[in-house]
Amino acid sequence: MLHMQDVDLKNKRVFIRLDLNVPLHEGKITSSERIDRAIPTINLALKKNAKIIIASHLGRPKEGQCTKNFSLFPVFKYLQKKLSGINMIFLQNYLQGISLKSNQITVLENVRFNQGETQNNEELSQKYANLCDVFIMDAFATAHRIESSTYGICDFVKKSCIGPLLYSEITTLKRIFDKSKHPITTVIGGAKVSTKFKLLSSLLKITDNMLVGGGIANTFISTFYSVGKSLYEKDFQEKAKQLYKTKKIFLPIDSLVSTSYSITSKAQKKSVSNIMPYEEILDIGEKTIQNYIKTIQQAKTIIWNGPMGVFEFPNFRKGTQKIAQSIANSNAFSIAGGGDTIAVIDLFNLKNKISYISTGGGAFLEFIENKTLPILEKLKNQ
């Protein structure tokens, strides 16, 4: 693949696809890790005297609609502070063309506000390509997605290359997994049930133990017991049953539940076999925490993606906190990835205790599975 550092970017219009999809609360960034990791790439483009366009998505807005809650403007303001002294502008309307200058940074509004972005629309991909001379893919966290700003643009732009962060991620992860020591324990949580289920069977081929929390755990539990109002996916129950037969999956045996979903909701301890129709599981319970910690302590390699519950709510934070701290205190080589996982690491100040932190979530898991990603294959053939 062609690398950014090997390309002459002087006075070139450069479209850099970054991952600036950071968590926001009331318009304020709660974890800047992904932005901070992207800044060296921006500095390299500045050093090469490029005319810089920065593009990213944020969240999952309804495509084609501009929604303030999903605006990249707070990210733009953060970048302005981090890159003080650099001329920067923020553009909401850019698909018909942009006037660019060397050593100026133009930050585009959320690409998912553009109709056709997630469907890899050909016309939209062409419009992105028309804005630039060189496309630089440096968004590892979205490298598994075939979308217009991450993949389709390559079909129309004059030159495409890989950025330093994406290159660093894939080479580091490949090196890690070529040398991982057993037992390997995988900790999987979070609410994105369907996206992760596709990868669990592949992870089960390399892992010795899989500790499950969040919405994914609820789907497994729902094959045995009622989970009330809890987040789970009925369409994946049969697949969950088949995966459970591997005997590698550890499920919660107790939980913290509530009758409402709110930051002020009260927690009640419950066995997973005794969830009422009006209750929903929001965290793993104390017995489950202790079971999971015992397995983590025996691991030589830990792969971690996702929280154990709704850690954003103080009353349902303990499970995620205890498991995160156990991973951090382990003697195992620990690999963590994903936006929510990074937010947990920041919240509990564990950054220096995790062996390797990846900016990707789904891409992180898919790369573990396939040792490649769609955009990497495309860039090889440019």
Residues marked active site are found at 34, 192, 339, 362
Three-class SS of residue 243? helix
The DSSP letter of residue 267 is: P
- The answer on whether 338 is annotated among ligand-binding residues is yes
Query: Does 360 count as an annotated binding residue?
Result: no
Rounded CA separation 292/310 (Å): 18
Is 58 marked as a binding-site residue? yes
Quick check: 119 and 344 in contact, CB under 8 A? no
Determine the Cα–Cα distance for residues 310 and 256; give it in Å rounded to an integer: 10
As a whole number of angstroms, the distance between CA 4 and CA 369 comes to: 26
**How many CB atoms neighbour CB 331 within 10 A?**
8
Q: Is 20 annotated as a binding residue?
A: yes
DSSP state of 306: S
Cα 70 → chain centroid: 16
Closest CA to 304 of 251, 343, 357: 357
| 341 annotated ligand binder | yes
152 is known to lie in a ligand binding site = no
H or E stretch covering 184: strand 184-188
Question: Is 21 annotated in some ligand binding site?
Answer: yes
Query: Known binder of ligand: residue 365?
Result: no
Residue 145 assigned ligand-binding role? yes
Distance of alpha carbon 262 from its chain centroid, rounded? Answer: 24
Q: Is 200 annotated as a binding residue?
A: no
Interior/surface letters 59-71, b for 16+ CB within 10 angstroms, e for the rest: bebeeeeeeeebb
Task: State the binding site for ATP.
Answer: 196, 312, 338-341
Task: State the binding site for substrate.
Answer: 19-21, 34, 57-60, 112, 145
Task: State the binding site.
Answer: 19-21, 34, 57-60, 112, 145, 196, 312, 338-341
Task: State the binding site for (2R)-3-phosphoglycerate.
Answer: 34, 112, 145
